[in-house]
Amino acid sequence: MRDTYHFSLYELGFVLGAMGLGVAASEIIWGILTDKLGDKKVLIFGLWSSAIMYALIAISLTPEASLGGVKYLHLGVALVVTGAFSGSINSSSGRTVMSWFDDSERGFAMSVRQTAIPVGGAIGTGLLPWLSYSYGFELMFIVLATTGFSVGLVVVLFINTKQSESKYTPKSTLTIPSPTKNWGSLEGRYGCGFSNGTSNGSTHIW
């Protein structure tokens, strides 16, 4: 990245830390919004907003797209905003697991979610440098944007907010089959963790 963008060590360090700064600064806010708006809305908003930011970076803040060069401050600010949107995944997906699964299944569901983060990071660390080296940073950011949109679509299709509301129903009238049998719910959780891990992994490949 330093050679392609022609950044100094100081500028490179700023850009590399920008996304993590956005995540750290937004975590508490996303937690509050998740409690007030619900996990599904926050997940979709965060995933699609971060995907839009990746797409904007691809078309305006890459060496391939910007003939006059990319200023490190512009790229850094864009990554801070992207990280802030991506931070929504942690709190909202955690709440989704807690509400979807009961005590006998929650440990397994949480392990699936937690496993997806390092797996996504590992895949991103291997895949994204190859993409940026072989095809350029523009395609790399487009892949990240596509991943965010795709996982957001999985959330729309498979995450049912009524499921989380049902936990407040008295046990005597509650007859809902085990969510573990519905692999769509696990796919949504794993997809969110994978997307988050891949996004986080992208900050370490440069």
Q: pLDDT averaged over the chain? A: 80
pLDDT of residue 183: 46
pLDDT of residue 161: 62
pLDDT of residue 64: 81
pLDDT of residue 68: 73
Tens-place pLDDT, residues 62-117: 988 777 778 899 999 999 999 999 999 888 888 888 878 888 888 888 888 888 88
State which amino acid sits at residue 138: E
Which of 93-97, 129-133, 173-177, 194-198 is predicted with the least confidence, judged by mean pLDDT?
173-177
Tens-place pLDDT, residues 115-127: 888 898 889 888 9
Position 47 pLDDT exceeds 70? yes
DSSP state string for the chain = -HHHHT--HHHHHHHHHHHHHHHHHHHHHHHHHHHHH-HHHHHHHHHHHHHHHHHHHHHHSSTTT-TT---HHHHHHHHHHHHHHHTHHHHHHHHHHHHHS-TTTHHHHHHHHHHHHHHHHHHHHHHHHHHHHHH-HHHHHHHHHHHHHHHHHHHHHH--HHHHHGGGS-GGG-----GGG-HHHHHHHHHHHHHHHHHHHHTT--
pLDDT of residue 206: 54
How many domains would you assign to the chain?
1
pTM value is 0.75
Q: What CATH number has the domain bearing residue 152? A: 1.20.1250.20
State which amino acid sits at residue 71: K
Which of 7-16, 59-68, 146-155, 159-168 is predicted with the least confidence, judged by mean pLDDT?
159-168
State which amino acid sits at residue 165: E
Asked if residue 203 lies in contact with residue 16, where contact means CB atoms within 8 angstroms, the answer is yes
Instruction: Give the whole-angstrom CA distance, residue 25 versus residue 6.
Output: 28
Highest mean pLDDT among 31-40, 43-52, 174-183: 43-52
pLDDT of residue 204: 46
Position 38 pLDDT exceeds 50? yes
Give Cα 153 distance to the centre of its chain: 13
pLDDT of residue 175: 46
Domain of residue 76 covers 2-202
Residue 145: CB atoms within 10 A of its CB come to: 22
Asked if residue 56 lies in contact with residue 78, where contact means CB atoms within 8 angstroms, the answer is yes
